[in-house]
Structure 1
Amino acid sequence: MNKAILSVRHPQYAEALKALGYQIIPTDIISCDMPYERDHADLQCLILDDTAFVLSECKGLIKALSDSYHVVICGKHFSGRYPDNVCLNALQLKNKLICRIRSLDEKVKEYCQKHGYGLINVKQGYAKCSCAVVSDHAIITADNGIIRSLEDNPIDVLSIGKGSIRLDGADTGFIGGASGYDKDRKTLYFCGNIKEHPDYNSIKRFCNEQDTQIVSLNDDHLTDIGGIIFC
């Protein structure tokens, strides 16, 4: 993985990733009821194996990913309004996909059935946004509903407190939206300074247990930008 998909409206994080050797793929600006969601990567794209599921509105992403992936155009029922806006907001761990199944795009469901992915249903439509991936079997989240839904699965979960993450235009952001995990480098990148989070010590210890390095991309307040997708 040497490419990173992330918001066009937060160039400071793109520049930091460029300096670390990543090629940047900017998100598109799409139609959403909430202005702060219009550039969020975790609403626009979902990559499973060699297939990229991309909203039809995202012409730039479709073009950028077509060279490396089989691109499947999605979002037939996308309205920019919850819960139709979270049709690609799913979290992959090995052969599992954590998502609000009712909201998941039908083309993703068909792919999962064909390729042996199990679907873990959660009530939270913003499943990917709510969870920071730490390894292929571990996540960090403040969402108690997601934690309960994962109790019977072999997934390690660190529960953290809600808040302490900025999302301009909203009361608070989410840990998944403020981060991105590169499985090849085994590194979890944060948009802002993770050391300022009240649960930093627990987060650091949990990541160490998973043999995952953590990197703050700058010293700003931790900010939800719609996540970083490495590909």
Structure 2
Amino acid sequence: MLKESPFIPNAKADALIIAGNADEEIINNLKKFNIEIIPTVKCSDVYDEIAFHPDVVIHPINRHTLVVAPNVYEYYEEIFKNKPIKLIKGEKKLNRNYPDDIAYNVARTARYAIHNLEYMDEKLKYYLQKEGVQFINANQGYSKCSTAIIDDNAIITSDPSIYRTCLELDIDILYIESGFIKLPGFDYGFIGGATGAISNNEILFTGKYDNHPNSKDINIFLNKYGKKAIIISNKKIIDIGSIIPLEYN
């Protein structure tokens, strides 16, 4: 049975997939970690506000295998052709309106794939089954956007559907207030889209979250799992569609 989340590296990640339109300050700060930065390409078939978001078009089956939406597959095929990462072309072509843009936006802990299962890409579902992942249905289609993966079985979310669902599972979950995270074009963004692990004990945050009413709870939760918050921008925390870590070994 799978015991590790692909969103948490074993050690330091070899590369990070990040929104191609991420703020220059974020990119420059990430480069200081001497790590490969892989920018996304725009997926013109979905809303402009999420068109560069990694978690809209990519789901890591494991740390070395990615399922990619057919809309942008050729771009990533070229990027990864000489890297030890296996790419699988998804079946579902993404389109503008919900739920046609959520097929790959799946939250993952060590044992569970949390999503609105009716709309999950069928090829993604097939490969997750091969990994021994248990499927958990939630009403929230933007499951990964809504879920920060802190440890293999520890998450933070502001989504009530995901929270209620995970309470019944062996997942440690911190429930926070929604809002207080930027997402241009929308009222607010989500904690999952504003975070990503760069190592086994470091969680990246896209900006400052001091003004979030649950900031102290977040810090306590991170400390519980021996995680350090790495703030990669002096601006307010912003949803950029998750930061996806990759390992080449």
In the superposition, the TM-score normalised over structure 1's length comes to 0.94
Query: Would you say the 8 A contact 2:69–2:93 is kept in 1?
Result: no
Q: What do the CA deviations read for 1:179-223 (whole angstroms, capped 9, x no partner)?
A: 1123x3321111111223221111000110011111110110111
| Unmatched segments (≥5 aa) in structure 2 | 1-12
Report the equivalent of 2:99. 83
Do structure 1's residue 23 and structure 2's residue 36 form an aligned pair?
yes
Report the equivalent of 2:8. none
SS in 2 for 1:177: helix
Cα distance in 2 for partners of 1:68, 1:55 equals 19
One-letter code aligned to 1:2: D
SS in 2 for 1:129: coil
Cα distance in 2 for partners of 1:138, 1:34 equals 30
Do structure 1's residue 55 and structure 2's residue 64 form an aligned pair?
no
Do structure 1's residue 41 and structure 2's residue 54 form an aligned pair?
yes
Query: Would you say the 8 A contact 2:41–2:52 is kept in 1?
Result: yes
SS in 2 for 1:85: coil
Q: What do the CA deviations read for 1:13-66 (whole angstroms, capped 9, x no partner)?
A: 122111112210010101244211110011011112232101122232232234
Query: Would you say the 8 A contact 1:2–1:230 is kept in 2?
Result: yes
Cα distance in 2 for partners of 1:76, 1:127 equals 17
Do structure 1's residue 137 and structure 2's residue 153 form an aligned pair?
yes
Give runs of aligned pairs for residues 100-115 of structure 1, distance below 5 A.
100-115=116-131
Kindly report the root-mean-square deviation, in angstroms, between the aligned alpha carbons of the 2 structures: 1.4
Identify which range, 167-176 or 10-19, moves more after superposition.
Answer: 10-19
Of 234, 242, 249, the residue aligned with 1:219 is: 234
Cα distance in 1 for partners of 2:159, 2:100 equals 20
One-letter code aligned to 1:198: P
One-letter code aligned to 1:133: I
Of 178, 181, 186, the residue aligned with 1:162 is: 178
Report the equivalent of 1:200. 215
Do structure 1's residue 14 and structure 2's residue 32 form an aligned pair?
no
Query: Would you say the 8 A contact 2:139–2:161 is kept in 1?
Result: yes
In the superposition, the TM-score normalised over structure 2's length comes to 0.88
Query: Would you say the 8 A contact 2:61–2:127 is kept in 1?
Result: no
Query: Would you say the 8 A contact 1:52–1:65 is kept in 2?
Result: no
| Unmatched segments (≥5 aa) in structure 1 | none
Identify which range, 55-64 or 93-102, moves more after superposition.
Answer: 55-64
Report the equivalent of 1:118. 134
- Identity in percent: 31
SS in 2 for 1:48: strand
Query: Would you say the 8 A contact 1:78–1:85 is kept in 2?
Result: yes
SS in 1 for 2:66: strand
Q: What do the CA deviations read for 1:45-89 (whole angstroms, capped 9, x no partner)?
A: 111223210112223223223422221111434223211211110
Cα distance in 2 for partners of 1:31, 1:80 equals 9
SS in 2 for 1:71: strand
Cα distance in 2 for partners of 1:64, 1:124 equals 31
SS in 2 for 1:157: strand
Query: Would you say the 8 A contact 1:3–1:23 is kept in 2?
Result: yes
Query: Would you say the 8 A contact 1:2–1:21 is kept in 2?
Result: no
Aligned length: 230
Query: Would you say the 8 A contact 1:32–1:81 is kept in 2?
Result: no
Cα distance in 1 for partners of 2:27, 2:106 equals 23
SS in 2 for 1:14: helix
One-letter code aligned to 1:7: A
Higher RCO, 1 or 2 (CA under 8 Å, sep at least 6)?
2
